[in-house]
Amino acid sequence: MKKQHLLAVAFVALNASTAMAEGMPQIDQVQTFPGQLAWLAISFALLYLVVSTFIAPRVSSVLRTREATINDAITTAERLKAEAASTRGNFEAAGADARTKAASLISEAQATAAREASDAQAKLAAELDATSVKARDSIAKAVAKAHMEVDDAAQSLAAAMTEKLLGTASATSKTKKAS
């Protein structure tokens, strides 16, 4: 076992000495920097050419289109805002006119109704006065007629009582019977 172990150590030492003779690979990369820098410059130039020829024009056209669309939308919004303000002013003016007309119509209707009511009230009062005068006249005539009938009834009753009491007809009842 010791023999195998010694062989392994010898193998590693042999390999290490050959690597030292060739140099360290991490440090040996410095010699390839100029080639790497040349390929970096070539790759960057090709990438710049592709971006500036194909990609940048498309991006800038999209940005110009977007900016134009936004500006058009802003212009349209400002125009519509102005139209809305104008329409609102017209609407408010029409509303004020309608309220004024409604108020005048209401006041005219109230005046007409008040005038018609006062005319109807005056007509009714006149009819009631006329009816009242007729009723008073009727009542006065009825009272006068009733007084006359009561006077006639009283005179006839007095005459009839006098006849019964005296047994003779009185002169006033004879004259009344004659007439």
Full-prediction pTM beyond 0.75? Answer: no
Ordered per-residue pLDDT tens for the chain, 179 residues: 666 766 666 666 556 555 555 666 677 766 778 888 899 999 999 999 999 999 999 999 999 999 999 999 999 999 999 999 999 999 999 999 999 999 999 999 999 999 999 999 999 999 999 999 989 999 998 989 888 888 888 898 888 888 888 877 555 555 555 55
Note whether 163 and 169 are within 8 A (CB): yes
Collect all residues with Cβ–Cβ distance below 8 Å to 170 and sequence separation of at least 6: 159, 162, 163
Domain boundaries, the chain: 39-170
- CA-based angle 104:106:107, to the nearest 5? 65
Rounded Cα gap, residues 144 and 150, in angstroms: 10
* Structure confidence at residue 113 (pLDDT): 93
* Structure confidence at residue 22 (pLDDT): 65
